[in-house]
Chains A and B, each alone.
Chain A
Amino acid sequence: MIVLREVSYTYPEAADPALHGIELNLQPGSITGVVGASGAGKTTLAKVIAGFLPRVDGGELTGTVCVAGRNLAELSLVEAVGQVGLVIQNPFNQISGAKYTVREEIAFGMENLGTPRAEMAARVKQVAALLRISDLLDRSPYALSGGQMQLVAIASMLVLRTPVLVMDEPTSQLDPFGTRLVFAVLDQLQQAGTTVVIFEHKLELLQAHADRLLVLAGHTIVADGSPTEVLADERVDGWAIGSTRYTRAARLARGRGLLPVHGALPVSFEQAAATFGGAR
């Protein structure tokens, strides 16, 4: 579905590339998580996949980005955004400012694309129910809390039903309930065949929901595999991506002499259950 070959990208007037040597092939209908410390290049990669770099921000892109078998560079921006939806990092900037109710704000993209009115109304209703924001629909988009605004921003992209959805830290302002809600929605999208790329820090949820986990460090992909594999990698401390609560608990237990000194630490609930069950 999405194929990146030898992609490097340098921002205008920057000395060094923000991304280099990116090789990526994402299967249709998969959920891919991408983690990386601040400044690792997550937002840059999200924009490259969505076709916004170098088109909107300038700079220099080398290599090729293909979506659904078509080279993004050869598509117009409008065609590209029809294929790949992008939830940007700051929900405040995703809100258009052109609309005075959440309902119309969510419909804004569909209005631009000329979706018939009845269909727009139905889709807005469905997406709002999915993200539990139906009671906000008549409010002003600017009278919302950060978390509510983030859900509206996500809804405004979900409603466009693009085959690929790229989300840049979509749960940064959400409470644990909202965060789990978003991940549950990802599972539903996946069942509907949508390809999802999510840039996130919450490792437990990525481990539970993503098919694949990529690690960005030093402006390139340093690890790529199943979440369980990647989180168990021995280089994980060097990537500054943190660790799951299961790993942290096991490390503490080991320090107190409750677990054997050798052997791999658990990265998932299942592994932790086995590890601690075995220790008892």
Chain B
Amino acid sequence: MSSTLYVERASPIHRLNPVTKLVALLCLLVVVFAIPQWWASLAVLLLVIVPAAISSGVAARLARSAGQLLLPILVVLVLVQGLTYPGGRTVLWQWGPLALTTEGLMFALTIGARLVCLVLASVLLVLTTHPGDLMSALTEQGMSPKFAYIISSTLQLIPSFQARATSILLAQQARGLTVPSNPLRRLGVLMPLLGPLVLGMFTDIEERSTAMEARGFGSTARRTTLVPVRDTRAQRVARWVIPVLALAAILVSLRWIG
């Protein structure tokens, strides 16, 4: 029962402080979406994302996960924009009322390249960063521990609530409940089972809050952490330098290209 996509590897990307990765991801996305030229996204892809993916040791997994997400979107994007782009003048190919235009394809390329960067970079972060480490790192940067708790526990408790729902259903099936294949009737049969599930969840929430208080969650003491978050001076500097570089790139593109 694992709720994380994290893949453990001993790579330099895994070893980075999660906040460094988060800052890099955000800057990268701002650059890609702020600079309108498609080749800017391509450059980011080839110069940053691909090398990072290769050194992370999870490139194959990344290609698979991101591919599943991207492929249908890209196909639709190329077809729809290529054929129906309103500003399309240069017709490459025509079939009845449908015309494939260069302008449409260029527009699809611009949007598509950005999406590829967005998805690849985000999935790479998720694959190489343990959510627990991300939460500790963000708490260390001043994020409220209560907020961190809500995120982590939601991530971890969803699978266990799913397991409970399954076990309630199994228990009912063992007592002769049959689940019809007709979706409407199925809903009718399953609705009453929501009662015990929701009731159980409320009792759990009450008990959990008791247990959390018993473990000093309400304490105002300065919190400590058992496992230190990996960080280096170079990364602390990089977390300032990367946004500055991103800003510079955007300014340059506005001044000389845009």
Among A88-96, A189-197, A199-207, the stretch that binds chain B is A88-96
| CB proximity to B under 8 Å, residues A55-107 | 56-57, 77-78, 81-82, 85-86, 88-90, 92-94, 96-101, 103-104, 107
Among B78-86, B148-156, B176-184, B248-256, the stretch that binds chain A is B148-156
Q: In the complex, are the beta carbons of A96 and B213 less than 8 A apart? A: no
Partner of A117 from the list B1, B153, B213, B225 (CB cut-off 8 Å) is: B225
Q: In the complex, are the beta carbons of A93 and B226 less than 8 A apart? A: no
B118 within 8 A of A: no
| Size class of the contact patch on chain B | 35 or more
A257 within 8 A of B: no
Partner of B149 from the list A82, A98, A101 (CB cut-off 8 Å) is: A98
Q: Which residue of A lies closest to B205 (CB)?
A: A93
For the complex, what is the distance from the CA of A124 to the CA of B219, rounded to whole Å? 20
For the complex, what is the distance from the CA of A115 to the CA of B224, rounded to whole Å? 6
Q: In the complex, are the beta carbons of A103 and B226 less than 8 A apart? A: yes
Partner of B132 from the list A52, A85, A104 (CB cut-off 8 Å) is: A104
For the complex, what is the distance from the CA of A116 to the CA of B204, rounded to whole Å? 31
Q: Which A residues are in CB contact (< 8 Å) with B217?
A: 112
Partner of B216 from the list A98, A113, A120, A142 (CB cut-off 8 Å) is: A113
Q: In the complex, are the beta carbons of B214 and A97 less than 8 A apart? A: no
Known: A88-B211, A94-B211, A107-B226. A100 touches B130 (CB 8 A): yes
Closest approach, in angstroms, between the C-beta of B155 and any C-beta of chain A?
A: 8
Q: Which A residues are in CB contact (< 8 Å) with B43?
A: none
Residue interface bits B198-236, CB-to-A below 8 A is 1, else 0: 000000101111111111111111111111100000000
Partner of A98 from the list B135, B207, B219, B221 (CB cut-off 8 Å) is: B135
Known: A81-B216, A93-B208, A112-B215. A98 touches B226 (CB 8 A): no
Q: Which B residues are in CB contact (< 8 Å) with A112?
A: 145, 215-217, 219, 221, 223
For the complex, what is the distance from the CA of A156 to the CA of B220, rounded to whole Å? 19
A111 within 8 A of B: yes
A50 within 8 A of B: yes
Q: Which residue of A lies closest to B3 (CB)?
A: A142
For the complex, what is the distance from the CA of A90 to the CA of B201, rounded to whole Å? 13
B98 within 8 A of A: no
Partner of B228 from the list A56, A114, A117 (CB cut-off 8 Å) is: A117
For the complex, what is the distance from the CA of A68 to the CA of B4, rounded to whole Å? 45
For the complex, what is the distance from the CA of A56 to the CA of B212, rounded to whole Å? 11
Partner of A114 from the list B148, B223, B226 (CB cut-off 8 Å) is: B223
8 pairs of A and B residues whose beta carbons are closest in the complex: A97-B153, A109-B215, A100-B132, A114-B221, A112-B216, A107-B226, A93-B207, A113-B216
Residues of A at the B interface (CB closer than 8 Å) are 47, 50, 52, 56-57, 77-78, 81-82, 85-86, 88-90, 92-94, 96-101, 103-104, 107-117, 120-121, 124, 140, 142-143, 156-157, 160
**What are 30 residue pairs bridging A and B, where the CB atoms are less than 8 Å apart in the complex?**
A52-B210, A56-B206, A56-B209, A57-B206, A86-B214, A90-B207, A92-B204, A96-B153, A97-B152, A98-B135, A98-B148, A100-B130, A100-B132, A101-B132, A110-B216, A110-B226, A111-B223, A112-B215, A112-B216, A112-B219, A112-B221, A113-B219, A114-B223, A116-B224, A117-B225, A117-B228, A120-B226, A142-B159, A157-B214, A157-B215
In the complex, besides A98-B152, A124-B226, 20 extra interface pairs with C-beta distance below 8 angstroms are A78-B216, A78-B218, A78-B220, A88-B207, A88-B214, A90-B204, A96-B211, A98-B135, A100-B132, A103-B227, A104-B132, A104-B226, A109-B214, A110-B216, A111-B226, A112-B219, A114-B219, A114-B224, A156-B215, A160-B215
